[in-house]
Chains A and B, each alone.
Chain A
């Protein structure tokens, strides 16, 4: 498979995100439903904003959230 650079940290990998940012992305997607139910119809963008300002969320999670907002992306193919 062709080598690609992570669109966030430029680290080399096989897909558009490196393994670390891909893991963070996976966790973001996995937890969305829980957050949506917790706050009653929380939209994707609001969810990402909440993650960015939350002190418990990891650095890679915040970086992925900012990236998704800046690119207006809902789902990544990783």
Chain B
């Protein structure tokens, strides 16, 4: 008979020697840097063109995201339909995404089709035409999507909390309303496209099963274009946080749940506290066994889920707690969140819990590094944040060695309720 009350021996994940697979780098003729990770068993690859064309650079709201979205909606020689059909015929996915500082055009494909596809990507980033009809359809459908979203309390809460923390003119805090979408016009998009894509600042990330002549292929297609590496530091955009700290918004008279967001400003990854707080955040609300989940979901049953996280921004960040809780228990929920903050400020995390969190984080990183796209995800974060691989290894050391005392000090410094904005949207 086996003794089922006895847990099998485990190897503490803290003892693992985690390695970030190195990344090759090379430069195209025009100076555009390329980062490449050649790994994986499947014959697939992903190429990401990261332009410094995020909403930080727009002069008019929603222009950066509209320009990015419409890159696949027609060039001087191909219609939107033809562009889509080309990628889809090869079973490839060409996606766009717009963030605060950067905007991305990515291609995921079976490796064998790369050479048939990147010339079309080049067309999109050099020769998009932003036809009036395409823009009109985009505006109409964006407004319809927005009309549905503003009915959702979590959507409203997500927009508002960012605007409180950063200010509603700040790239991290602003959001678009219907009139901003209405105001979009061809000229603004075309201008933005010419400045930030055609002659833009670009960095390329490629991962997966890579062809031997990758550098030649990329250079032949992108290397002669008037693009360059990002040389200047992105201008600092001062935050203008709201003065009022507590908000309650009634968005839906029939709402049965409140979307709760608590947030405070937090420095970026260059700050010495950043990686330490990643450990504290895990204890607080960063995984299923966290204090917030254990208390508010697993003990009280107030919510399906509650999480805390530090936003992934380049310049300024925010530490946020997010949940949807029953309408009648919203206040009880925020009280419990504050209680958990207090506990972390006043009581040392015991060694057993801390070891569990260390092991959990190490195991998760090990799992996260499994696969070429995931490895590249780590590198992309390092490169775009202006860090080096040291950041990865220092984070590992922090996870292994940070003490309960240090975590308590961090809690005292950052987890004070009056530093937090509090928002409930029903």
Do A and B interact with each other, yes or no? Answer: no
Give the B-binding residues of A (Cβ under 8 A): none
Give the A-binding residues of B (Cβ under 8 A): none
